Amino acid sequence: MQFRDLKKQYDVLKESIDRSISSVLSSAHFISGVQVAELEEKLAEYVGVRHCITCANGTDALTIALMVWGVGEGDAVFVPDFTFFSSGECPAGVGATPIFVDVDARTYNIDPVKLEETILKVQKEKKYRPKAVVTVDLFGLPADYDAIRPICEKYGLLILEDGAQGFGGSLHGKRACSFGNISTTSFFPAKPLGCYGDGGAIFTDNDEWATLIRSICVHGKSGKDKYDNIRLGVNSRLDTLQAAILLPKFEAFKTYELDEVNQAADWYNEKMAGTGLVLPAIADGFVSSWAQYTVQLPEDIDRTKLQGELKKEDIPTMIYYRKPMHCQGAFAGTDSANADCPVTERLCRTVLSLPMHPYLMEDVVGAVIKAIQ
Ligand SMILES: *Cc1c(COP(=O)(O)O)cnc(C)c1O
């Protein structure tokens, strides 16, 4: 059994993907080929923002957004304690101090009440300037923007939506990657929309920032001339080959994969009711793109042993995430290590992510649940 069945997906889409790859090979435009611009246009339209700028990966996308805003030394950036490392690595990488905030036990996303408490605490201590919030749409579910946006407006904070796992999700019909002042995503193969290597994208409605992002992605070039470097940037582009792979994959994602993965989630939810496991909660108005299907085990279950037993039955499982951000070694001895996040600590002990993808069949979901029971 596959945890995320990329082989099956390729079998289904093989003809269109092969054709698309082949057209890049014969054109030999490996960097900034027409497929890149075509993809950016389609993604911006789908998400519902003015600009999409693709880049090399989701981590660069976050860093570039922070560079555009000039976030750095002395700035506090609020980040959920329960997320992939990049969400906190990037603010720290530009010199700011990530301040980790506890998450909601049912949605796994940043807890808006804790967010406001933490902002007030940082304000009071006066050591760092509250500057931005990295709102992560974890496991495919948009963060609680109805609650987060007013808080950010109240304290003058920018929202950087880390939609690496969230692409395709929505809230009140508005799509993920449109909720931030700048939003980002990742096309790492296992994400909801993945390519065949690394890739990422940055979304914004702000024309000025979009121009800056395009410049920073290509060594700080001027608008007119690639060899006129007017600021320091990075080299972060999506390869034409990856864009060509994403074009047919995006069609499949829009037309049926997103529906199918939600069907798989419904099967899990129905069949798992009454097992005593805590299931992922999707509130009214929210749609998840199910980057992961993550349950919580009772505290007295030996998770490692359960994983071993499941593995014997050819059922792969993963632990996202094992360690709270504030406990990561990279932050040891820094102010980022000081965080009060009991919910995250419990989740790190009890979560288990199950096989999840659009090509999952009902009988396979049944077999996973039977084995767990
Ligand atoms: C995967 C991921 C990233 C980083 O994306 P890459 O393309 O792997 O650099 C950032 N944030 C979150 C929440 C992620 O899951």
Q: Which of 3.90.1150.10, 1.20.1250.20, 3.60.10.10, 1.10.443.10 is the CATH number of 256-372? A: 3.90.1150.10
CA–CA dist 139, 47 (Å, integer): 18
Instruction: State how far the alpha carbon of 271 is from the alpha carbons of 55, 277, 315, in Å.
Output: 40, 11, 17
- The boundaries of every CATH 3.40.640.10 domain in the chain are 6-101+108-248
Return the percentage of the chain with pLDDT > 90, whole number. Answer: 98
CA–CA dist 179, 183 (Å, integer): 7
**Tokens found for residue 185:** 């995503």
The finding on whether 161 has its CB within 6 A of some atom of ligand 1 is no
Q: How far is CA 275 from the centre of its chain?
A: 29
The finding on whether 59 has its CB within 6 A of some atom of ligand 1 is yes
The finding on whether 86 has its CB within 6 A of some atom of ligand 1 is yes
**What is the 8-class DSSP label of residue 32?**
S
3-state class of 33 per DSSP? coil
Q: Assess whether pLDDT exceeds 90 at residue 275.
A: no
Instruction: State the fold for domain 6-101+108-248.
Output: Aspartate Aminotransferase; domain 2 (3.40.640)
Q: Assess whether pLDDT exceeds 90 at residue 274.
A: no
Give the residue carrying structure tokens 């582009």. Answer: 237
**Residue in 362, 370, 354 with CA at minimum distance from that of residue 267:** 362
Return the percentage of the chain with pLDDT > 70, whole number. Answer: 100
The finding on whether 165 has its CB within 6 A of some atom of ligand 1 is yes
Q: Assess whether pLDDT exceeds 90 at residue 348.
A: yes
Terminal CA-CA length for the chain: 18
- Shortest-distance atom of ligand 1 to CA 136: 13
Q: Assess whether pLDDT exceeds 90 at residue 226.
A: no
Q: Residue 60 C-alpha to ligand 1 middle, in angstroms?
A: 9
Q: Assess whether pLDDT exceeds 90 at residue 364.
A: yes
- Shortest-distance atom of ligand 1 to CA 191: 1
Supply the pLDDT for residue 31. Answer: 97
The pTM of this model reads 0.98
The finding on whether 57 has its CB within 6 A of some atom of ligand 1 is yes
CA atoms within 13 A on the CB side of 186: 26
Per residue in 52-68, pLDDT (tens digit) is 999 999 999 999 999 99
The finding on whether 140 has its CB within 6 A of some atom of ligand 1 is no
CA–CA dist 241, 22 (Å, integer): 9
CA–CA dist 286, 174 (Å, integer): 9
- The boundaries of every CATH 3.90.1150.10 domain in the chain are 256-372
Supply the pLDDT for residue 224. Answer: 85
Q: Assess whether pLDDT exceeds 90 at residue 192.
A: yes
